[in-house]
Every structure is written in structure tokens, then in C-alpha cells.
Structure 1
């Protein structure tokens, strides 16, 4: 059932509620008896039933603490408040109950006296976390770009001065010191180039098949780790192609998979290391405050020791690494490349299972 089906009924809300289909939160419109007269698509997802099944259901029966909602609806009918917030718990057959933040809105001078907006607490926390990640990534990019430019010019002068000094030295033993300066300057130059890489190279946009990206990454990583590492494919063949920069996405996925392989050093030595590349299609996803009907979920899952809790919230920060000798740029650059495609990388980790999830909007 869609909005036009509901609107065609003489006893149902009209097209004025069609805009609710564009919202990320679940919307229910109820009559004076508490019967549902309209529900949007996110409400279907939340309750895991169709709109047709929700229609004319007593809304309070959907919640464990329905009596609390019933009192709010009564007050809305009496225009005691404009809107009221409360916590409700949804009963789901055979599943764990889910807690939601509910806002009951009184509709004045309308045939339908109340509207209920529902949002999962976990979903709200997820949206807040994504917003923080995006803001943090933007700040990091600006900081790194400015820092790299500030380092680059004096670094070139330092290297040039060392080369001139070396040419004037008559004692070969002293050139050992100038070589140290030149080599360290080159190392820093390489680091600066990596910091500036996402902002320098022009994007080459074309049709991207995510499974071709995964296969390329898989072959590259297995060439580095020919023994002791198993990379499992778990692909959803229904994932459509999308527009993007294939080389950037290969680099982003490669950085994540290589990071997982490095974390699996002990298990690779033992011969039981495993990385899973899993693709799925997700629906009704919010990325960067924009709602997408379809999105790609690419999971990179490993059976390594997990990321220390004190690092988990900072792994996408530049120069933060949990590995000795790591540059701390791999995940930062991966996040940058994915965000340039309007996507995001998230991470969930515990001992024995680390899951990096790359989210990308689909057409």
C-alpha cells in the first residue's frame, strides 16, 4: 500500500501527509479512538509489517507501555499540549523489544487529532555519531591540508641545503650525516604527499561494480599474504552499479582490508586468519543528513584481536595507529575517499570480531 491508496479512502488522511514519506522517522496519524489512519514507509520498517496491516490498528496495542501513550493521546484530543515526548517500548513477535523515542503532536483544526513520531534510540545515537564523524573528518581534512602545505616548503629547502652542504664536504665520513638529513626529508615528503593525495588527484567518475573492486583488493592482499589468510566472499549479486571513482574506492577498500590483515598477524602465523568481504543492499539510510532509498553496505569482517576500546573512537583520526610503525593514515584516507562519494565508514569491534562497514548511496 502507498500514500495514494490511503488518500483515496473517504475516511483516511489526504495528500497533505504525503510529505511524511520523505522522512527518516516513523510517522503515525491516529483518530480520536487511537486507531491508525496513516503510516509512512519508515513505520513499516520499524514495526516490520506492511501499512495495510497497520491500518485501523489500535496504536496503543503496539507498545508494552501503551497505557502511557493512551493518556498522551487523550490529552492531545483535549489540546492539553502542542507536543509531548516520551519513551515507548515496541513489542515484536519473536524478537527483542525495541525502545523508541516518541513525540505525540496535537493536530489543531484537523480531522485527525494526533500525530506520533517514532525514532529508535539506537538509530538516533547512530545518526548523532555519524554527524560527529562527518564534522570531525571535515576538521581533520582542513587541518591536514594546512599542515601539509606548511611543512612542504621548508622541507624542500632543508633537503636542498643538505645536498649543497654534501657537495662541499671533503671528508666522506661527514656525508653520512647529510644523507640522514636527505633521507628523513624524503620520508617526510612522502608523508606530506600522502596527506595531500585525496585533494590533488582529479576524480575520474564512471560506472563502478563494487564486486570488481572487492576482487581487485582480494587479489592484491592475498598476493601479500599467500599463506595463513583466507578471504571469504559473501556477495549480494543484486547490488547495482553506481557512479564513482573506481581507483579511489579500490584504495579505500584496500586500506581497510590491509589494516585488517596487519591486525591478524598472529592468526596468519597460526594459519586460521579470516577476512570476510560481505555486500548487502540497505534501505532508507541517512548519510550526511541526506536520506537515500538505497545504499550499499560493504562489510570487512576479521577474526582478529579487536581494536582497543581507547582507540575505537579515534581510529579515523590522522596519525592514530594501534600498530607499531604504522603511519596512522590508511583509515583516515579511506574515510576521506568514501566521504567524497557521499558515504561513510563505521566500525564495530570486540575481541575475535571487527567489522568495518562502508556505506555508499546507490541510484
Structure 2
């Protein structure tokens, strides 16, 4: 089939996975991209029987047989592939029938969708958060201006009141105006630019763990799974402590209010290479995962948990996660969340080398 070395070189340098089957569905050729995607070598794939091949790729047998019978190509969007290691991937695949001197053959092209879907999801998350922050800033401006006038008028009125017993009423106005102003300031999150220095992410995590252990008096098990090879990153230690503390407190409150057996929070760090966050590609990214065994986040608020004033608890303010996302965004990073009953996973992705550091 591969007549020239040039053809083979082209196939082996494609980023798209290519698999060639004969008419009995035996694998005759896979390129390196396919071996990487399926996490199996050509030798291993060629040893699979038909049932194993279909189980591996979720390519339906009727699709392959129809292509052979009719000679018409077939395309399936966002199909699921289970690799030999058990990982589930989302892919687009196309089946093209070929007539060759060796007989009928099927050429399958497989393109991974997971990375593109992740980039799209992250861009949507960042856009939604920026939109929410802009709305809050505009609303805060409209609220704080009249609040200042109300507070000033109450102070002037208090000076004109000769009956001291009436001062209690003006004090109520002043105190409530101050309370609303503080609430608006909290909605806005950190207003100062981060003080960027070289910081150790594990030192930050340990500081937060000590605070949580002191608050819970050992009632919650904190498990550490650190990668000690992660280098220092450029960040504001105080703000990063606040962001991680907000996430950990959210997990702590979720498992304290539910019957989960042994309440446990796992903190896991890893370094990933060539990660795209939003529209920016970073050479090296620090990943901090905070995983609790709580009841999970309700589906109806999962997509809105980073919005201000959104909370799954009646007594919650809905500000902690929003502020944490704002802080990580200032570090050119992102917080993502996955949840199911018995496990909620927050992942903080922070570039180890900031782009345009001089602009910070």
C-alpha cells in the first residue's frame, strides 16, 4: 500500500491518527499519531480480534461493513474511544473504503476533539467570568455613589439633631451604608495589582492546610500528593493563599454539612507541558487539584459557581469561588471544576512562566 518512502514519511508525520484495515478488519497499518492516541503499538493493535477492535474504538461494525459494501465514506462526530489504558477520549473519525491490489481496505482517520473542546470550554469560562466582573464593576459604581451621599447626609443630619436619642437612627443609616459598601468591595474582589515574586506553591499549600487543620481541629483528613519537582512560580503569595483557602473552605463546608463517612480532602500537584489556557499557550503549567468526597455540586448551579452571589448553601455568600477565580485569572491562570456524587474536583492551573511579565 505504501509505495514510496515519501508516502510513509508523510503519514508518519501527520498529527491526525490514521489506521488501515483489510477487508477482514485486521489492522495492517497505524501511524505514530494513532499509536499515541490509542496508547497501543502497531504490534499490539494487529493482535486484536474484531470484537476487541470495536470495543477499543467504538467504531460500529455495521458502519465498516456498509462502507465495504457500498463504497461510500462514513463520518462520525464526537464519538467515544476507550484506549487500552482505559482512558475515554472524544474524537471525530472518518471511514474511507479503498480498492487496492491487495483487495478492499478501509482507511480510518481519527482526530482528537478533547483538546479543542477543553480550549473552547476554557475560553467560554473566561469570557463568562470577565462579563460577570464587568457587570459587577458597573453595578458597584452605581451603588457606591448614592451610598456615599446617603452616608454624608446622615452625618450632617446627626449634627443638626439636638436630641441625642435620635442619633441612634442616623447611626443605623451610617452603619448600613458602610455594610453595603463593604459588600460591594467584596464583590469586586482584590482591587490592587498582584505583587509578583518567586513563590513556592507547596509552601502556599502547607500554609493553607495549617489554617484548615486549625479551623477543623483535625475533623477533616487532609491528604497530600505533591510533585516536589515543580519549580517556583511567579505570583503574589498573599493572593494565592487567599484563592486556595477559598477553595479549601468551600470543600470543607461541603463535606461538613453532609454524611460522607470520613471527611477527606486530597491536594494534588503536578506540572503539565504545552498547556493552552484560553487563547494563551504556556510552556509549563502548575496544576493544583483539590478533591473532596462530599455530595457534589448541584447540576443547576455547576456552570455558575464562579459567578458572584451564587452558592449551593443557604448560609453561603457566593463570593469565595468568584474571588478565587479572579485571583487566578490575574496570574494568567484558570480554575475548573468537575463534580459527581462523592467527588468534587477543583483544578487550579497556574503558568509557571507568565507571558509578558513586564506588563504585570
Find the partner of 1:129 among 104, 118, 121. 121
The C-alpha deviation readout for 1:116-136, integer Å capped at 9, x for no partner, is: 34125x666544433321221
Closer, same or farther: CA 73–57 of 1 in aligned 2, 3 Å: farther
How far does residue 72 in structure 1 lie from its aligned partner after superposition? 10
Moved more, 288-297 or 235-244: 288-297
How far does residue 301 in structure 1 lie from its aligned partner after superposition? 1.8
What residue ranges of structure 1 are gaps of 5+ in the alignment? 1-8, 21-26, 107-113
How far does residue 284 in structure 1 lie from its aligned partner after superposition? 5.1
Cα distance in 1 between the residues matched to 2:340 and 2:219: 22
2:153 aligns to what SS in structure 1?
helix
How far does residue 174 in structure 1 lie from its aligned partner after superposition? 1.9
Cα distance in 2 between the residues matched to 1:96 and 1:197: 38
Q: Is 1:13–2:9 an aligned residue pair?
A: yes
Q: Give aligned pairs, total.
A: 335
Find the partner of 2:59 among 34, 46, 65. 65
Find the partner of 1:28 among 17, 29, 44. 17
Which residue number in structure 1 is paired with residue 304 of structure 2?
314
Closer, same or farther: CA 44–284 of 1 in aligned 2, 3 Å: farther
Matches within 5 A, 1:329-348: 329-348=319-338
Cα distance in 2 between the residues matched to 1:138 and 1:115: 41
The C-alpha deviation readout for 1:277-320, integer Å capped at 9, x for no partner, is: 11123455432144445432211122333323322222111111
Closer, same or farther: CA 38–68 of 1 in aligned 2, 3 Å: farther
Whether the 8 Å contact between 2:225 and 2:269 is mirrored in structure 1 is yes
How far does residue 326 in structure 1 lie from its aligned partner after superposition? 2.7
Matches within 5 A, 1:1-363: 12-13=8-9, 20=15, 27-29=16-18, 36=29, 38-40=31-33, 45-49=36-40, 63-65=57-59, 84-86=75-77, 90=81, 92-93=83-84, 95=86, 98=89, 100-103=91-94, 116-120=109-113, 125-198=117-190, 200-266=191-257, 272-283=262-273, 285-292=275-282, 294-363=284-353
Cα distance in 2 between the residues matched to 1:72 and 1:206: 61
Cα distance in 1 between the residues matched to 2:261 and 2:290: 19
1:150 aligns to what SS in structure 2?
helix
How far does residue 325 in structure 1 lie from its aligned partner after superposition? 3.7
How far does residue 271 in structure 1 lie from its aligned partner after superposition? 9.7
What residue ranges of structure 2 are gaps of 5+ in the alignment? 98-106, 354-360
Instruction: Give the alignment's Cα RMSD to 1 decimal.
Output: 4.1
How far does residue 179 in structure 1 lie from its aligned partner after superposition? 1.5
The C-alpha deviation readout for 1:192-241, integer Å capped at 9, x for no partner, is: 2223343x312222223211110111122223333423322221222232
Closer, same or farther: CA 19–94 of 1 in aligned 2, 3 Å: closer
Which residue number in structure 1 is paired with residue 101 of structure 2?
none
How far does residue 28 in structure 1 lie from its aligned partner after superposition? 2.5
Whether the 8 Å contact between 2:196 and 2:236 is mirrored in structure 1 is yes
Closer, same or farther: CA 208–162 of 1 in aligned 2, 3 Å: same
TM-score for both structures, normalised by structure 1:
0.74
Closer, same or farther: CA 144–63 of 1 in aligned 2, 3 Å: same
Closer, same or farther: CA 329–209 of 1 in aligned 2, 3 Å: same
Cα distance in 2 between the residues matched to 1:360 and 1:209: 12
Cα distance in 2 between the residues matched to 1:35 and 1:149: 67
TM-score for both structures, normalised by structure 2:
0.75
Closer, same or farther: CA 361–172 of 1 in aligned 2, 3 Å: same
How far does residue 138 in structure 1 lie from its aligned partner after superposition? 1.2
How far does residue 186 in structure 1 lie from its aligned partner after superposition? 1.1
The C-alpha deviation readout for 1:323-351, integer Å capped at 9, x for no partner, is: 33432111011111112223221222334
